[in-house]
Chains A and B, each alone.
Chain A
Amino acid sequence: MRKYLAVPIIVLTFSCAPKTAPVINTVTFNAIIAETALLNIQTITMDLDKTGSIPKVTATKLMNNIRTANETMKLVSQAIKTWNQFKDNGATLKALLPILKENMAAIKSSLPPNMQTMMAVIEIFVNFDGWYKETAVL
């Protein structure tokens, strides 16, 4: 079933994004996708916590990890702004990507079994490898 969900999302994403978009637009687009995923995981965690579907300790760990990732995303946003404004070499952004990848891995490792499938879907379009390739040309 997972592949049926992923294919339209990927097709929609890549068919609509401008093919000639500047690198900074593509990188920012990737950041938005990652942040959207973060928001969804957070919302679901809060809902499952409210209904008692996940243990409080699991919800707390997840919320802490999401908060950490969000703090990294704030730095990513700042790095994108600096890059856009001063046309620097994007070194700060490049340095932040591995940290963000670790943050996402921490979230994944703290997910309860009933949320693991969701993460598998999200990972399909939070594409860190593609993100590295985009920034590599800076």
Chain B
Amino acid sequence: MPAVIIAALPGILKGIVDVVSIINAGSQVPTADINTLIAKLDSLIALVDANDAEWRKNNPG
């Protein structure tokens, strides 16, 4: 099994578990559910943005 897959798995599984936790929590508080999901999506988008900014800082041009 390629090392890349092994490296990716913890992150992928953590992401899935996080999402499932949010869904389960949301199902107990229906009014907060969709807003919680949107907040999670936005936090992931912000993470990708932050990584991108860091990479561009280290790789100008």
Contact = CB atoms under 8 A, between A and B. Distances in A.
B48 A38 contact: yes
A96 B36 CA distance: 22
A46 B2 contact: no
B27 A39 contact: no
Contacts of B1: 1
Contact of B52 (A49, A56, A70): A70
Contact of B11 (A43, A81, A84): A43
A130 to B, nearest CB: 15
B52 A32 contact: no
A114 B4 contact: yes
Count class of interface residues, chain B: 35 or more
A63 interface: yes
A32 B40 contact: yes
Interface in A7-26: 9, 12-13, 16-18, 21-22, 24-25
Contacts of B12: 9, 36-37, 40, 121-122
Interface in B6-61: 7-9, 11-13, 15-17, 19-20, 23-24, 26-27, 33-34, 37-38, 40-42, 44-45, 47-49, 51-52, 54-56, 59
B41 A9 contact: no
A17 B7 contact: no
B15 to A, nearest CB: 4
Interface of A: 1, 5, 9, 12-13, 16-18, 21-22, 24-25, 28-29, 31-33, 35-40, 42-44, 46-49, 56, 59-60, 63, 66-67, 70, 73-74, 77, 80-81, 84, 114-115, 117-118, 121-122
24 contacts: A9-B13, A12-B16, A12-B17, A12-B20, A13-B16, A16-B23, A25-B26, A33-B15, A33-B16, A35-B41, A36-B16, A38-B48, A39-B47, A40-B15, A46-B54, A47-B7, A70-B45, A70-B49, A73-B41, A77-B42, A80-B41, A84-B34, A115-B4, A121-B5
